Amino acid sequence: MNKNNNNEKQELAYNWIENKACVAVGRLLITPYDWSLFIATIIIWSFGGSIFSYSGNANFDMSIVTNEYTKNLSMFAIAIGFFFSTKRSNILIGLGIGNYLLCFGSVIMSKTLFAQGVIGELLLKPLSIFCFLLLLKNMWILAVDRAVNKEVK
């Protein structure tokens, strides 16, 4: 009997840590006026190859990698949006398509000679990162908060 109680207490301890982590991530993503997303955009943009560039001479380009990951994850969000049938899923589909187009435009504009890639690196890339973080926020709301999903009309 004591072994069952110990296993239950241990299981509750794991759930407690998981719950604390979920609450922390939710509080970071969902803030008034999306100030945390704006700060995260600046951090990801600066360390993602725009300000601090990285070259390993092995065809690794940090700015392209950041855009490729966000493009792939926006495709995943579009698939999630088609899987569910709530209004929030339509928001995911719209943000996913918009983010994919922003990432695609950012790669094209940062690698061309038009204005030396400034438009892609200084305008489109931060917009695509912010749109991606909005996408993550809406995916988090879809997964966790049922009350907010019912309020969206």
Verify that 18 and 47 share a domain, yes or no: no
Verify that 18 and 75 share a domain, yes or no: no
Residues 6+ away with beta carbon under 8 Å from 149: 86, 87, 88, 141, 142
> Residue 130, exposed/middle/buried by CB under 10 A (0-12, 13-18, 19+)?
buried
- Inform me whether the pLDDT recorded for 148 exceeds 70: no
Helices (H) then strands (E): counts for the chain: 7, 0
Verify that 6 and 56 share a domain, yes or no: no
Verify that 45 and 17 share a domain, yes or no: no
Verify that 56 and 117 share a domain, yes or no: yes
pLDDT digit string, tens, across residues 69-97: 889 999 999 998 888 877 778 889 999 99
Distance CA 78, CA 87 (A): 13
Q: Which residue has the tokens 């969206």?
A: 152
Verify that 109 and 54 share a domain, yes or no: yes
Domain that holds residue 93: 33-151
Domain count, the chain: 2
Verify that 96 and 145 share a domain, yes or no: yes
Query: In the prediction, which pLDDT does 97 show?
Result: 95
